[in-house]
Structures are given as C-alpha cells and as structure tokens.
Amino acid sequence: MYDLAIVGGGPAGAAAAVYAARKRLKTIFISAEWGGQSTVSTEIQNWIGTSTISGADLAKSLQKHVEAYAADIVTIVSPVYATSVTTHDDAVEITTSAGEIYHAKTLLIASGSKRRKLDVPGADTYDQKGLTYCATCDGPLFDGQDVAVVGGGNAAMETVLQLLAYCKSVTLLNRSEILRADEITIASALKHPHFHIIKNVRPTEIVGEKFVTGLRYKDIVTNAETLLPVTGVFVEIGLLPNTEWLGTAVDLSPNKHVVVDAKTQRTSHRRIWAAGDCTDGLYHQNNIAAGDAIKALEDIYLALRRNSSTSEV
C-alpha cells in the first residue's frame, strides 16, 4: 500500500513527485512519458528559472529531478499509462496499461491534456515548422512576421492579443459568423490596426517549403478557396483532457476536465486530488501546473498526517 499514487509525467506530476519524496511519502509514480505537451516545442521561453529550453530538454530535466530524489521513496513506473481507477473506503486502486494494479491511500491526477489537432493536409508535415499549438511557448519566435490563428474562442482571441505585441500582422480564421470569445477580448483585438478576421471559413491545407509559407482556406458560403501568405499558424481549437481512464470516480466538467477545489486541488472524492491541464482551472501552463501540483501535495500531506493513525483521509 502506497501513501500516494501520481499519474502523469509532465510539470505537474514531476513537481508532485519531488515534493512527495522530500516529504517521505511512499509514492508510486505512473507516467506514459516525461514532459507533457511541451515535448514538441523547439524553444520554451517562459519556464521560470530558465531563459530558454527545448521541450525535449525540459522533459529530461523533469525526469532527472524526480530520479535524483526518488531513492526508495518514489517508485517510478514508465512508460505505462493508467487505464482505470477504482475507489474503496480505505484506498484507491489504479490499473495500468501493463496490467499492473497499484493501491494507494491517495491519488493525484496529473494526466494532462492533448491539443485538438488541425486535421488538414500539411498540418502534420509542418507541425513545429511554423505550425504550433502554443503561443505562450512559441509566439516570440515569430517576431515581425505575418501569422494566422485558427479558432474563435477565448483561447484563440487571447493568442491573438499576445501575438499582436510582436507580430507584423495577425489574421484570425473562424469557421462561423459568430466568435465564441467574450466581447471585451474581441473589442481589445479589434482596436489593433494589424488584426484581421476572416469569418465563415475553414482551413483546407498548410503549405510550405522547409517551413510554413501559407494557409489555404475555403469560404463555406461560396466555396471559394484562398491562399493566405503567412509564416506561422497558431491552432487554438480546444484541448482534450486525458481523463477517459477516470470513469465516474470523480466529478468532471461538461468538457471532461476534473473539477477541483481551487484552494486545495481536491476533487469530489476525498482521496483524490488533481493538478494541471486535466483540471477545470481557468489557465493552463507549465508553471501553473507545477504550482497547482505543489499546492495539492501540501494538502495531501496534511490529510495523511492528520489521520495517520486511521484509514481516514
């Protein structure tokens, strides 16, 4: 029986594992891979304490940090992923893709999310070669360039505002006449002379040579097809949280994010906490994920120690 099970090897899971080791919580750490979504980024400039780091190097750094503290406290099981969770009065039971079953008094869900991919010809070819899913990570690399943003929700409009700070022009492509972002954010973008909106269109192809040189789109009303010359394409069409394996163990939002208490990161189940991109938190970034996980670990530690003589948490 472990004190804690951590599922996920991104910034949230790694931060939690380091803190669990330092607090001497007997922990099982289950991870399909190290680094989370950022592994695909060629250059991350906002990981606090490091001016620039690649996604691959960030993953190695997280792994090295956890392994340095693991000793006989944190047992690392990787690369495997959790396939299901079952809750009991005195424990949580996690089954993995390797067929192993682990029991722990508490569980931290840090399984992250995956970007909804742009499914058009050229998207895979130019992924991280001008096409990106993270303006926070990659936006500054497009300083002085013409770029496009695909999407119409708050995330897309926030990306637009961020890119307008340094890009030559930003063009938003929206699939309908109506933007789903809030009016204040839309109004802020519309004030900028280098911002353009193209409505009622859908991307049909990403074109380029070594890197992206343009985005082809079709007008859904007229069927006319147009090539927009840009060197960057930022895709903001939603995130898909990695929460399928949870079943009904905890409350999920309509978008399948884990619902947490913002003060403690505790879920609807008293033995389960969650942190990072899999949660219903308002903002999702590497630094936020790590901070939320540490917050959760503090609460988990207190819950375990407060009831160390009983099976209660």
Three-state secondary structure call for residue 120: coil
Per-residue pLDDT of the chain (313 residues; tens, 9 = 90+): 999 999 999 999 999 999 999 999 999 999 999 998 888 776 788 899 999 898 899 999 999 999 999 999 999 999 999 999 999 999 999 999 999 999 999 999 999 998 889 999 999 999 999 999 988 888 999 999 999 999 998 889 989 999 999 999 999 999 999 998 889 889 999 999 999 999 999 999 999 999 999 999 999 999 999 999 999 999 999 889 999 999 999 999 999 999 999 999 999 999 999 999 999 998 888 999 999 999 999 999 999 998 765 667 8
> Which residues lie closer than 8 Å to 216 by C-beta, 6 or more apart?
203, 204, 205, 206, 207, 225, 226, 227, 228
Pairing of strands 272-274, 131-132: unpaired
Task: Confirm whether pTM is higher than 0.85.
Answer: no
